[in-house]
Amino acid sequence: MNSDVHWQEQNEHGARLYQQGRYAEAEQAFRTALQEAERFGPTDTRVALVLNNLASLCHNQRKFAEAEALYERALSIRRQAYGPQHPLVAQSLNNLASLYRELGRYREAEALLQDALATAEGLFGPYHWRITNCLNNLAAVYTAQARYAEAAPLFQRSLAIRLRHFGANDPTVATTLCGLAELALAQGHHAEAEPLFRRALAIREERLGADHPMVAVLLEKYAVLLRETAREAEAGEMETRARAIRARQG
């Protein structure tokens, strides 16, 4: 099969599998797509597209070192190809910053996200759905640093945009609700956090399926709240369910 066709088919196949939570199969498809795309040269923009997808998958699989290398390579290709003021450059900055946040590299994450958000707002305006990933991730960085007053309006702004563009039952809305729940939990506001976790979990279960890895992520986060409120049995049940979901992903 022609490489120009095969890389795209495998990349799109990987994206569908990724969305379905079939991570092992998605990884295989993305790696095949990357091998085919690299036939066009190591700095081709098609390579960057696959690198970004594979990096995101590795990130969600908690393969942080590999994800970082892949994100950085994708960002380098995109900066060279498109210049700094481009939506795909903003996407790569946002994704790398999200990883840095999980690694506790908050200063680096914040700098990248400020850059990504400024670029995205300049391209799309302050109320476009394409800026909401940056808003969420910057809010999460502030939450992790106990900068709660800065985090809250960013999450609220993201939620308002996503509700308007996608509706109340979209998985992107669940992600922002989860961020707001974590913000409330970090401040010890358990009564405020719990309904947010419940709503986010219900959306993901309905839209993604009860055995999706992103459901496992929420179960683990919700379990933290349950333990903090001395509901050990419920927390244990959620953690057991999350482990079972992850085990099925290999």
pLDDT tens-digit map of 148-177: 999 999 999 999 999 999 999 999 999 999
How crowded is residue 105: how many other Cβ atoms within 10 Å of its Cβ? Answer: 15
Distance, in Å, from the CA atom of 208 to the CA atom of 178, rounded to the nearest integer, reads 15
Tokens of 1: 């099969």
pLDDT at 3 > cutoff 80? no
- Nearest alpha carbon to residue 205 among 158, 238, 162, 159: 238
Cα dihedral across residues 100, 134, 209, 236: positive or negative: positive
Task: Render pLDDT for 49-102 as a digit per residue (tens, 0 to 9).
Answer: 999 999 999 999 999 999 999 999 999 999 999 999 999 999 999 999 999 999
What average pLDDT does the segment 35-57 reach? 96
How many whole angstroms separate alpha carbon 230 and alpha carbon 97?
A: 34
Distance of CA 203 to the CA centre of its chain: 16
As given in the structure block, the two tokens for residue 82 are 């498109």
Write out the two tokens for 12: 């799109």
Write out the two tokens for 105. Answer: 């590299």
Distance (Å, whole) CA 45 – CA 243: 37
Domain boundaries, the chain: 1-77
Count how many Cα atoms sit within 13 Å of the Cα of residue 222 in the half-sphere of its side chain.
27
| CATH architecture for residues 1-77 | Alpha Horseshoe (1.25)
Q: How far apart are CA 131 and CA 86, in angstroms?
A: 13
4 pLDDT band, cuts 50/70/90, is: confident
